[in-house]
Every structure is written in C-alpha cells, then in structure tokens.
Amino acid sequence: MSQQKQPLAAWHAMGLADVLSRLNASERGLSEDEARLRLSKYGPNRLPQKPPTALWQIVLRQFASPLIYILALAAIVSVAIGDVKDAAFIAGVLVLNAVIGAWQEWKAEKSSHALRKLLQIRASVHRDEEVREICAEDVVPGDVIWLESGNRAPADLRLLSAHGFEADESLLTGESMPVPKDPTWPATETTPVADRQNMAYAGSIVTRGRAKGLVIATGAATSVGQLALDVMGEGGGKPPLLVRMERFTRVIAIAVLAAAVTIGVLGVTLGGYSISEMFMFTIAMAVSAIPEGLPVAMTVALAIATSRMARRGLIVRRLTAVEGLGSCTLIATDKTGTLTCNELTVREVQLPDGGVFQVTGEGFAPLGEVLFQEKPIEPGKHAPLQWLTRAGILCNEADLHHRHEEWVWRGDAVDVAFLSFAHKSGWTQELALDLHPQVNQIPFEPEHQFAASYHTSEGGVSVFVKGGPERVLGMCTESSSTDFDRVELEECATRMAARGYRVLALADGDLNEPMTPEGLPPAPANLRFLGFVGMIDPLRTGVKDAVRDCNAAGVAVSMITGDHQVTALAIARNLGLASDESQVMTGAELQGKSPEELGEIVGRIRVFARVAPRQKLQIVEAARRAGQFVAVTGDGVNDAPALRVANIGVAMGKSGTDVAREAAELVISDDNFATIVAGIEEGRVAYDNIRKVIYLLISTGAAELVLMALAITTGMPYLPLLPVQILWLNLVTNGIQDVALAFEPNEGGVLKRKPRSPGERIFDQLMIERTLVAAIVIGGIGFLTFRWFLPDGASDAEVASARNALLLLMVLFENIHIGNCRSETKSALLLSPLRSPILLAGTITAFLIHLAAMHTPLGQMLLGAEPIPLRNWGVLFLLAFTIFPVMELHKWSWNMRHRNPA
C-alpha cells in the first residue's frame, strides 16, 4: 500500500448495511481464501514505519563526537607543522573507529527490526465460521474482530455488537478518560473522532467489556496510520543507562584533559619541550586516558546480554532493562500462568446435596471422564450435574474445537477448562447454544468477580452465572437440591481451596421480565446455587527451583493474586514461599493501611491473596518507597499500572494482553517464572562485563598518565612514547580487547551474590583501589624500563629503540592485564582462557597486529617500530608479567577485607 496521506471515509456515519455492502463483507467474517486475496490487495496491516537508517548516515554519525573533533584538530596541526606521518595515522584511526562503530550500530539496527517481529500483537478474528487467533498484520478490511479487556484494537473497526465496552483512545484523541461505545449510536459526517461511539480505532486499548467489530481500514489507511505519517520524523531518546554512562565518560574526560593540560604546561615550562611537541603529546595523552571505547563496548555488552536473554525466552524491549533486572531485590509475581501452567483442569465437582464427582484427564484437551464413587457416570443421567454443566458452558466466552486431528482452543483458561469438562460430561457448546440462544451478557471483570450470560429458555429468559464462591453465594437464595445454608457452603469451598483447587461457584435463575440485547444488565439476584467446581493449575516445571535460586540470590519473591487465600497458601507451600496462614494477607486486610504500614507489611509478607488491581499498585509503590528495586510480572490490563510504576515491568508474551506488553520493559515469551531468574542472571553478567571494560580502559589510560607524568616531573629530556604510539596503544591494541571483554561469559556464582544497591556508583572503592594499583605498577615499571633502555647521551636512534621496547612492553602489559580484568574477585588462575574464545582471539589478534607493525615497512614508518632482539623479549615479558601477581595479591587482600570468596 502507498504510505501517503489519504482522505478517510466517513464509516461512522454510514448505515451498517451500507458498510457491509461497500466492503463486500458479512457479520460472519471472511473465508481464509478471501482473506488471502484481500491481504495481497491491501497489504499487511502494518503502521507506516520510519525506514531503517541508511548505512552512510550511520557512518557519518561516527564522526559526531567531541573526541573525534580533538583528533581531527590534532591531524590538522600535524600537517601544519609538517608531521604528515602522525596526521596519516590519526586519519587511519578515525576511519577504523568509524568502521567499527558503524558496524556495531548497523547490527543493532538489524536487531531492533528483528525484535519488532517478535513483539507483534495478535488478533481474534472470525474466519471460516470459527474464531481463531492470527497475527494482527494479517488482518484485512472485511474481517470480523473480537475484542476484550486488555486487547489493543488491531485496525479501525465499525462495531457490530458490544457489552459494557469502553476504550482508551488517548493516543489518537488526547482524551484521558475511557470512551463508552455503542454500536447503535447515530452519527453525522462532521462528528469528531473523540465522539464516535460506534467506532473503535487502531491502537486504542480496551479497558472494559467485550465487542465485535468489522475492519474498515488497516495499516496506513487507519486514523492512527495517517497520524503516524505526520510524526515519522521524530526521534527517540536515549536509554537512561546510556545517558548515565555518557555523563560518566564526560566527567572522566574533563578530569583527564585537565591532567593532560597540566602535564603539558609542566613539560613546556620545566621540561624544555617545544609547544608544538607538547601540544601533540597533550592531545595524545588525553585520548589515551579517555575511555572513548566505553560506549561501544557497553552497548555490545548489553546487546550480547539481550541475545542471551532472547535465547532463554526473555525479549528485551528497552536495552537498559537488561542491566536493571540484574539489580532487582524483589519480584512481585502473578500466580496463574507465571508460577503455574495456566492450563486449568476441572478435577472435582461438589453439588449442594454433598455429591462429589471426580474428573480425569490433564490440560485443555477433553480426554478423560467424569467419575462418581470411582465409576464413570453415564452422560445426561444426573440432572443436578447437568444443570451445573449447562451453566458452565453457556456462561462462557472461549472456544474449543477438534481440528486437523488435534484440539485447539482460544479464550480464558477458566472458560476453556469448563468447555473441556462439558465435553467429558456429554455436552458441547454448539448444542447448548442451539437449545438456549444468548440474549445478553455481563462479561467477567476483576472488580465484578463474576460473569453472567442471559439465554432464552422454555419459560422466557434464564441467567447463568459463574464466579468466586463468596460473590456468587451472595446472589443466591436457594440451591438445586437441598436447603440453602450459605455458611456451610462457604466452609465447603474453603476445604476445596485448602486442597489447592481454584474454586468457582455456579448458579442459574429465571427472569420475570423480558431481556433485550442492548445495554449492560444489572447484577443478577435471587439465583439457584448449582455447585462448586474445583480446578487445578499445576506448577510450571522448574518454578520451585527458580524461587529457591531467587532466595539464594538475595531476591525476595512475593506472590500477588486474586485467588482465595487458602488456594494461594496451598500454592505458596509448594513453592516454599509460606508455611502457614500468618504469612498470607488478603486485600481486605490491606484496606485502610497507611503507606508506612504497607512498607512494613511488604517487607515481611510474601503472599497477597484476593488483591484488587489498585492494591497491587499500592504494594509495588510501598516496596519502592521502602528501598526495594522491584520487578513486577503481569498479563492483564489491570496489571498495567503496576508494570509502569515498577522499576522493571515484565509482561507475559503468550497469555499477556497488548496493554501489559506495552507497559513492560521485558516480555517473557514462554510465560514462565523461571525465565525471569535466567534474566536476573544475564543482567548481572552484563553489569559485571560493563565494569570489567571500564576497569580495563581506565586503568591502562591512568597507567599512561603516570608514565608521562614521571617522565616530565623528573626532567627526562625525551618523551617515553610519541603521540602516535599512544594512539596506537589506546585505539588499536586495547580497542580490540575491550570489545572482546564485553563477550566474557558468566564467571559463575552470580546468583549466589546479594543484589547490588540501585544507587551504587560504577566507579566504587574497589575500582578506585585497583585502578591506582594497576596504574602505578604499569606506569612505574614502564618509566623505569625506558630509563634502563636509554643510555646517557643517547642518539636519536637509541631513543627510538628505547621507545620501541617500551611500546612492546605496554602492549604486553595490556595482553596480560586483560586476564586480571576477567573477574573482580576470582583469581585469573581459576578462569581458563578457553572458556572465553572471543576474548582469547581478541588478545591474540591485538598482539599479532603489533607484531606485524614491528616487522612491516608501514608499521615501522608510522610507529617508529622495529624488531626487538630475542634476548630482550624475555626481559620485557617478565617485566609485563609483574602486573599479574600484584593484581592477584590485591584480589586476595580485597577478599580478606570483605570476606568474599576468592
């Protein structure tokens, strides 16, 4: 389709028959064949997107940096004073830096586009007389779409039917309040978008109710698509972690420039060096100490962690969430679908007369039977059971079909479980609806705690209800087989919940007045209680171990659920979260608590049951005020506020709603809690690697400052290293190693450490100490080595030879010191070089590049390098190796002082 603005038809003002006629559609939807034809005609239902950044733009962007400006100025000055060799090398370094940076950004751009494909929303569409779930990009004009709370409308829709339906259209209209919708509402062509009650627009979020709509526009032809064409040029902001790191780099740069200028001034005033010589030297020294490779290496570290997380089922929507998840101290998690499988199975049915029925089979596939006293019952022979089954299948919004020799389903887990149970009892949804066509309904919403469906019957209209035991029993005045004793029935439901069942109550009743399909009916009353259904949702594989791993990692886990407290406690016992009722708190008990009381409660209670959406938000806010770094899991529209206010929001990828995924930084593709633990591990590894890169760059840069400062303050007549040699060390040999260090794998034991404080500085006491030690050792030994290789009254050739030996020594220092940087606490002797092949290859490559420079005319011309006699190799290697025992000694000292495992 064309990505150009086009006039939009006034679909809202047309009669429904005219809309259907113009689209050549019907309220029963399209066939798959017709949908394919329309997809080829209209194109994918995809909003216009900003085209990927061109490669040439990415390359030019690499030169937009203050550091690059300094280097370019140095090259111009070099040409002006006749030093073409230095200018040529600086130009070569600039080109190499642009190539490396552009390659990394190009990879990130490609990864970003690949990630968009993973995060595509789904749509429930009526095709070939069935409701099925498809990718929203495959929706075409004429499709019939089903929407419910938490969905995002995949296209512009003319509503066909609605029940309590409201939509948040703020992204299109700016109106913050949800808009009630009415398919029968009359409109005129001049009615503004915000007032069109018979329409639902692409991108709007369903906040309440259910609806069915006809797709009238897709992709760029939608209202939001036309708006997107106007704003495609707007750019996005940088992730907070990158902003903090760039600020850190600027602070370091200012400090280094100040030190370099000071040393330069001293060199001119005390050392007798020329102004031009010290100018080039000052620039080279500043470049050597500034960790300009840090942003690239940090982005690489986070990108690597992103890839590792994706392989383990965690999709990263915001890059900084990689590191953020690794620092969380509390996970507030849902129960259903996250800790459990969310494939409910009806296990037990209890009728009011005390009759208990067992149900066999696992999962949603209706493979099993209904037993009474351990014997299969004959379908249709037990009237009270049939009444209960009928209520469960009519008050139901799911689908369960046998297609292509397998069972497929769509809808809420509770509804699908009821359909599976009904099949085992001899009922089908089609049969029930043929006997009792639906007239109206009250969809399930968390604040209602029940759902009701109205159907025609022999006596007029009957209502069928299912929901929480307390809520449904409160609507009943009689039961199907015995006297109605609410207290005794509530005790029965409690006993079922104590055995780990999710308990729902069912009821029915007859209306004494006619029912119309328009409007939302009032809550039912004076119902007949039909019985309880006990469902089981087994724990996900690995969840129990994951909770244990969280505890070992110092990350507390709190379960927040709308289930009954007894059911929640049964699950919590299996997980090791709680052992008795004193460790469970209900939403009713939380009401009226002050923020201070909530903070104390969140610190000690690990199971919250019968919690309303607003209370989940309050729990998360209280935990944050108490100093916790909180990760929240959620899947519904009601979870979105908590996901947004959390430090890290984690949405469910399979069962989650579109609005939950929009609010979250991370998406779990398999809905498994154990995946979050894997993300914590990868996040900690990413942060560790960022610190390792920072330490490598800062310590080697500081060592070069020490080397030069010693030469100038002691009155040495010669600079130990030329500017071009410092640039070589910093941007070539060390530049290869710092990126390779970002690939360092998990060094082990990261989940046995306590989480770091959210306010912890990157450049902390450990890094300060270790940087000073490394700088003094490398810079000091380098200075003494240069003095040793430099005879009194040295000729220019002898000075060049001494510099060549010092340059090789600094390269060897970097090659050995990279091993010290692989762990802050573990001995390098415990980390095999083979466990990190990329780092090993990078170190060898950096060394071989310098070796080639020593033996090739180009390297000799640019760097003043030359082959070194074999007898000096051993001496230089032994001198470079001194950094290893010194840093090992500091690690031992630090571990002894802070009692960390060596």
Q: Is residue 846 part of a domain?
A: yes
Distances 216 to 141, 172, 199, 521 between C-alpha atoms, Å: 5, 17, 10, 29
Residue 632 corresponds to which tokens in the numbers above? 């929240």
Q: What is the CA angle 813-814-815, rounded to 5?
A: 90
Flag whether pLDDT at 280 surpasses 80. no
Local confidence band at 884 (pLDDT 50, 70, 90 cut-offs): very high
- Say if residue 505 is in the same domain as residue 403: yes
Which of the listed residues 231, 253, 274 is the one where a domain comes to its end? Answer: 231
Calpha distance 725→734 (Å, rounded): 12
- Say if residue 389 is in the same domain as residue 501: yes
Q: What is the CA angle 410-413-418, rounded to 5?
A: 95
Q: Is residue 281 part of a domain?
A: no
**Cβ-Cβ contacts under 8 Å for 805 (sequence gap 6 or more):** 785, 786, 789, 868, 872, 876
Flag whether pLDDT at 55 surpasses 90. no
Q: Is residue 111 part of a domain?
A: no
Local confidence band at 227 (pLDDT 50, 70, 90 cut-offs): low
Residue 603 corresponds to which tokens in the numbers above? 């610190």
Best CA proximity match to 567, nearest among 839, 336, 250: 336
- Say if residue 743 is in the same domain as residue 655: no
List pLDDT tens digits, range 16-26: 999 999 999 99
Domain range for 213: 16-48+122-231
Residue 34 corresponds to which tokens in the numbers above? 């017709």
- Say if residue 373 is in the same domain as residue 454: yes
Give the 3-state secondary structure of residue 463. strand
Comparing 550 with 717, the larger pLDDT belongs to 550
Q: Is residue 101 part of a domain?
A: no
Q: Is residue 843 part of a domain?
A: yes
What per-residue confidence (pLDDT) applies to 807? Answer: 96
- Say if residue 553 is in the same domain as residue 528: no
Best CA proximity match to 335, nearest among 634, 116, 578: 634
Q: What is the DSSP letter of 350?
A: E
Burial bucket for residue 459 (CB in 10 Å: 0-12, 13-18, 19+): exposed
Q: What is the DSSP letter of 539?
A: B
Rounded to 5 degrees, φ, ψ at 47 are -65, 150
Calpha distance 144→568 (Å, rounded): 39
Q: What is the DSSP letter of 610?
A: S
Lookup result for tokens 């991108």: 203
Average pLDDT score over the chain = 83
Which of the listed residues 536, 571, 593 is the one where a domain comes to its end? Answer: 536
Model pTM?
0.69
Q: Is residue 9 part of a domain?
A: no
Q: Is residue 397 part of a domain?
A: yes
Local confidence band at 658 (pLDDT 50, 70, 90 cut-offs): low
Q: What is the DSSP letter of 152?
A: B
Flag whether pLDDT at 228 surpasses 80. no
8 Å CB contact between 296 and 706: no
Which of the listed residues 194, 212, 231 is the one where a domain comes to its end? Answer: 231
Burial bucket for residue 46 (CB in 10 Å: 0-12, 13-18, 19+): middle
Give me the sign of the Cα torsion angle 417, 419, 424, 425.
Answer: positive
Residue 798 corresponds to which tokens in the numbers above? 């002898």
- Say if residue 378 is in the same domain as residue 501: yes
Flag whether pLDDT at 509 surpasses 50. yes
- Say if residue 519 is in the same domain as residue 623: no
Give the 3-state secondary structure of residue 858. helix
**Could you say which of 83, 156, 334, 399 is catalytic?**
334
Task: Assess whether 635 carries a catalytic annotation.
Answer: no
Please report, rounded to a whole number, the percentage of residues in the chain having pLDDT higher than 90.
35
Residue 44 corresponds to which tokens in the numbers above? 């994918």
How many domains are there within the chain?
4
CATH of the domain at 881: 1.20.1110.10
Residue 749 Cα to chain centre, angstroms: 23
Calpha distance 120→136 (Å, rounded): 7
Looking at residue 348, its amino acid is E
List pLDDT tens digits, range 314-372: 888 766 677 778 888 999 998 877 888 777 899 999 999 889 999 998 788 898 999 99
Q: What is the CA angle 110-313-548, rounded to 5?
A: 145
List pLDDT tens digits, range 155-190: 999 999 988 888 888 666 655 567 889 898 887 888
List pLDDT tens digits, range 611-656: 877 788 899 999 988 888 899 988 766 677 788 888 888 888 776 6
Strands (E) in 561-712, as ranges, are: 584-586, 607-609, 630-634, 648-652, 666-668
Flag whether pLDDT at 729 surpasses 60. yes
List pLDDT tens digits, range 809-853: 999 999 999 999 999 989 999 999 899 999 999 999 999 999 999
8 Å CB contact between 669 and 653: yes
- Say if residue 717 is in the same domain as residue 831: yes
- Say if residue 406 is in the same domain as residue 508: yes
Q: What is the CA angle 11-134-422, rounded to 5?
A: 110
Q: What is the CA angle 344-350-355, rounded to 5?
A: 140
Residue 128: other Cβ atoms inside 10 A: 13
Rounded to 5 degrees, φ, ψ at 224 are -70, -30
- Say if residue 225 is in the same domain as residue 214: yes
Q: Is residue 545 part of a domain?
A: yes
What per-residue confidence (pLDDT) applies to 520? Answer: 78
What per-residue confidence (pLDDT) applies to 119? Answer: 47
- Say if residue 519 is in the same domain as residue 416: yes
